[in-house]
Amino acid sequence: MAFIEHSDAFDLAATLESGQAFRWRREDAQNDGTTWFEGVIFSNIVRIRQVTGGVEWDASPDSETSMAPILRDYLRLDDDFPAIISTLEFDDILRGMFAEYKGIRILRQEPWECLVTFICSANNNIPRITKNVEDMAAAFGSPIQGTKTEKNAFPTPAQLADAGEASLRKLGLGFRAKYVAAAARRVADGEFDLYSLREAAYQDALDTLVEFAGVGDKVANCVLLFSMDKCEAFPVDVWIDRALREWYFSDSEEKVSRNKMRAWAQARFGEHAGYANQYLFHGRRLRDRK
DNA sequence: AGCCAGGCCCTCC
DNA sequence: GGAGGGCCTGGC
């Protein structure tokens, strides 16, 4: 059992369940009130829970020594979260949300899995996206060695390219199967390295991602934000569309397009617009549940 | 039955 | 360059 200390506001459960990652499973709460999550990242099964002053975790099969920096990176615990939040507190709506639920972080996921996941998100719902991702891993991913559970790593580009459109369709991906298969083929053929987009400028990386069939402005911005270090990314989905229309454009007569919404939000919220996005998304969804 | 779900693509203007 | 319709599939 390993421990990562942190002092800033950090809500592990809200972060893992905020709809940016899809392979974390909540376990039943312990008697002490803590809750374990089990997930698969970087070909490891990771269990993690939040305790006072930090997070406890273990991983298998890799050693704690090798996984520690990877997990720390994945959780972005080295971000100066209070400083980021402080750049957004000029906004009344966001300030209210920070007061209500502080500590939702942006994760730094693996780009390939993130790309496939959000290709699968098009005109879909979260339970089925989760099922699609899990089914792909079960059918085509490599078994994780040395563990009793039957979880597989997320499939590599080559594994999904070999799987092909027809078998992906059988898993229930629908029209997205074609896009996933094509993306897998492109990446497996080594046309380019997705990780290299982390070093690219936001606009260049965006232009590159939308060249994938099935990847438009919204999906690309999700991939940039959740896996490619582009905190200025601002994906506009139906929830953000609603949030902005109701909370910021309610006086406006005409309908604002989603492209204009993104440009407006990035100009308003700046280099950490992605964090604003995450809170607006969460806040708007939460309001409907109440 | 018909609509919606964290959009995208294609056509047509 | 923007609006409108179709799309796999499953749940309500």
Residue A125 CA, nucleotide C12 C1', distance (Å): 13
pLDDT value of position A192: 78
Asked if residue A7 is part of any domain, the answer here is yes
pLDDT value of position A220: 98
Determine the Cα–Cα distance for residues A253 and A231; give it in Å rounded to an integer.
31
For residues A203 and A283, state if they share a domain: no
Q: Evaluate whether A232 touches A274 at the Cβ level (below 8 Å).
A: yes
Q: In this structure, what CATH number is given to the domain that contains residue A254?
A: 1.10.1670
The A 265-284 residues near strand C by Cβ under 7 Å are none
Q: State the nucleotide closest to A172 in CA–C1' terms.
A: C9
Work out if A126's Cβ lies within 7 angstroms of strand C.
no
- pLDDT digits over A80-105, tens only? 999 999 999 999 999 999 998 889 99
**Is A230 considered catalytic here?**
no
- Supply the range of the domain harboring residue A268: 238-287
pLDDT value of position A290: 61
Write out the two tokens for A84.
């980021």
Q: Evaluate whether A6 touches A55 at the Cβ level (below 8 Å).
A: yes
Give the closest residue to B6 (Cα–C1′): A237
Q: Check whether A114 has a pLDDT greater than 70.
A: yes
For residues A29 and A60, state if they share a domain: yes
**Domain boundary, last residue among A36, A55, A78:** A78
Work out if A169's Cβ lies within 7 angstroms of strand C.
yes
> Taking the alpha carbons of A229, A100, A38, A214 in that order, is the dihedral positive or negative?
negative
Work out if A175's Cβ lies within 7 angstroms of strand C.
yes
Annotated catalytic residue, options A170, A218, A255, A290: A218
For residues A146 and A122, state if they share a domain: yes
Work out if A213's Cβ lies within 7 angstroms of strand B.
yes
Q: Terminus-to-terminus CA distance in chain A, angstroms?
A: 38
CA quadruple A246, A247, A248, A250: dihedral, nearest 10: 40
Asked if residue A161 is part of any domain, the answer here is yes
Q: Check whether A18 has a pLDDT greater than 80.
A: yes
Work out if A216's Cβ lies within 7 angstroms of strand C.
no
Q: State the nucleotide closest to A174 in CA–C1' terms.
A: C8
Work out if A20's Cβ lies within 7 angstroms of strand B.
yes
Asked if residue A104 is part of any domain, the answer here is no
For residues A36 and A115, state if they share a domain: no
> Which nucleotides on strand C sit less than 7 A from a protein beta carbon?
2-3, 7-11
Helix, strand and coil content of chain A, in percent to the nearest 5, comes to 50, 10, 40
Confidence of residue A146 (pLDDT cuts 50, 70, 90): confident
Work out if A286's Cβ lies within 7 angstroms of strand B.
no
* Mean of all residue pLDDT scores within chain A: 95
Q: In this structure, what CATH number is given to the domain that contains residue A175?
A: 1.10.340.30
The count of other CB atoms within 10 Å of the CB of residue A80 is: 9
Average pLDDT (A98-115) is 95
Asked if residue A181 is part of any domain, the answer here is yes
Asked if residue A85 is part of any domain, the answer here is no
> Which nucleotides on strand B sit less than 7 A from a protein beta carbon?
5-9
Q: Check whether A123 has a pLDDT greater than 70.
A: yes
Work out if A125's Cβ lies within 7 angstroms of strand B.
yes
The count of other CB atoms within 10 Å of the CB of residue A137 is: 20
Of A218, A128, A211, A219, nearest to A174 by C-alpha is A128
Average pLDDT (A13-40) is 96
Element (H, E) at A62: none
For residues A60 and A8, state if they share a domain: yes
Average pLDDT (A189-212) is 94
Confidence of residue A38 (pLDDT cuts 50, 70, 90): very high
pLDDT value of position A252: 79
Q: For A104-131, give one letter per residue: b (16+ CB within 10 A) or e.
A: bbbbbbbbbbbbbbbbbbbebeeeebbb
- pLDDT digits over A163-182, tens only? 999 999 999 999 999 999 99
Q: Evaluate whether A140 touches A163 at the Cβ level (below 8 Å).
A: yes
Give the closest residue to B9 (Cα–C1′): A214
List phi, psi (to 5°) of A17. Answer: -105, 20
For residues A244 and A185, state if they share a domain: no
The number of domains in chain A is 3
Tell me how many degrees the CA angle A177-A157-A43 measures, rounded to the nearest 5: 115
- What percent of chain A clears pLDDT 70, i.e. is strictly above it? 100
Written as one letter, the residue type at A107 is L
- pLDDT digits over A242-256, tens only? 999 999 998 877 888
Residue A288 CA, nucleotide C8 C1', distance (Å): 27
**Domain boundary, last residue among A185, A208, A227:** A227
Scanning the structure block, which residue is given the tokens 């809500």? A11
- Which of A5-19, A167-181, A201-215 has the weakest average pLDDT? A5-19
**Domain boundary, last residue among A78, A102, A130:** A78
- pLDDT digits over A257-283, tens only? 999 999 999 999 999 999 999 999 999
Strands (E), chain A: 2-5, 25-26, 36-41, 44-51, 54-60
